[in-house]
Amino acid sequence: MNKKVHVQDLGLKDYKETWDYQEQLFKNTLDLKIRNRREDLSLETPNHFLFVEHPHVYTLGKSGDISNLLVDEKVLVAKEATFYKINRGGDITYHGPGQIVGYPILDLDNFFTDIHKYLRFLEEMVILTLAEYGIKSERSPGETGVWLDVGTPFARKICAMGVRASRWVTMHGFALNVNADLGYFDLMIPCGIKGKAVTSLNVELGKKEVDMDEVKQKLLKHFQVLFEAEINKKPEV
């Protein structure tokens, strides 16, 4: 099993460009797996982990309800935001500057073939990272992602998740609010869950800004331990 994970930080990059890049990496791994099976080969399949920030964008998962986007196209244009229907699970999500988005494109045959465990590990990676900042976060029963003050009137989401998998190859991933503009969340019903607030790490810490690179390094550290991965950092693009 190949547990080497190639990590790239794409910086601030258009959502559609990043989605196309994900699809390319995803397809390359799937094609290799199919070739291995057809030709009885044992070529190693690659694993990738992309960090990125997106310009303002709303994405709707394949099981999502468009009515959870509360504004029309004119408002999106005024807010310099775009909208895409995409092929991950989950409902509507916002991405924007100040948010760390992570796209692990892993062949889970290299780690473990359990999507439930995969999602729990991604959540745990975020929970452990936030704990390093003194923030107690947790899972909310029946609701994917990472939350604060679960079970209270003050419950709020700090990290959204939505993944796609085929033949145990994953794509899409998580979005952690670090220095996010929370006003953009008011234009939708986040993840289709009414009556639940959204927060950001800088708000919880009472800071104007949190070092994004530091948070990425902490996420990567916990990812490496949880997945027993060997990290290989590729040059930034």
User: Mean pLDDT, the chain, as a whole number?
Assistant: 93
Q: What is the mean pLDDT of residues 6-12?
A: 97
Residues in CB range of 109: below 8 A, 6 or more apart: 1, 33, 45, 168
Helices (H), the chain: 15-39, 73-78, 115-131, 201-205, 212-227
What's residue 68's pLDDT? Answer: 87
Q: What is the mean pLDDT of residues 181-189?
A: 91
Q: What percent of the chain has pLDDT over 70?
A: 95
In single-letter form, the type of residue at position 191 comes to: C
Q: Does this model's pTM top 0.85?
A: yes
Q: How many CB atoms lie within 10 A of CB 224?
A: 17
Q: Whose CA is closest to 104, among 190, 43, 64, 164?
A: 164
**Domain ranges (residues) in the chain:** 4-228
Q: Are strands 230-233 and 197-198 parallel, antiparallel or unpaired?
A: unpaired
The model's pLDDT over 32-87, given as tens digits with 9 standing for 90+, comes to 999 999 999 999 999 999 999 999 999 888 878 888 889 988 999 999 999 988 87
For residue 16, CA distances in Å to 35, 109, 160 come to: 28, 28, 19
d(CA 172, CA 153): 30
Q: What CATH number should be reported for the domain whose range is 4-228?
A: 3.30.930.10
Contact 159, 145 (CB under 8 A): yes
Q: Whose CA is closest to 188, among 45, 90, 46, 53?
A: 90
Q: Per DSSP, which regions of the chain are E strands?
A: 4-12, 47-53, 57-60, 82-85, 92-95, 99-105, 138-140, 143-148, 156-166, 169-177, 197-198, 230-233
Residue where the block lists tokens 């196209």: 73
Q: Which member of 60, 148, 171, 191 is catalytic?
A: 191
What's residue 237's pLDDT? Answer: 47
pLDDT at 193 over 70: no
Residue 180 in tokens? 């996010």
Q: What is the mean pLDDT of residues 3-31?
A: 96
The model's pLDDT over 122-174, given as tens digits with 9 standing for 90+, comes to 999 999 999 999 999 999 998 889 999 999 999 999 999 989 999 999 999 99
What's residue 73's pLDDT? Answer: 85
Q: Is 159 in the active site?
A: no
d(CA 168, CA 106): 8
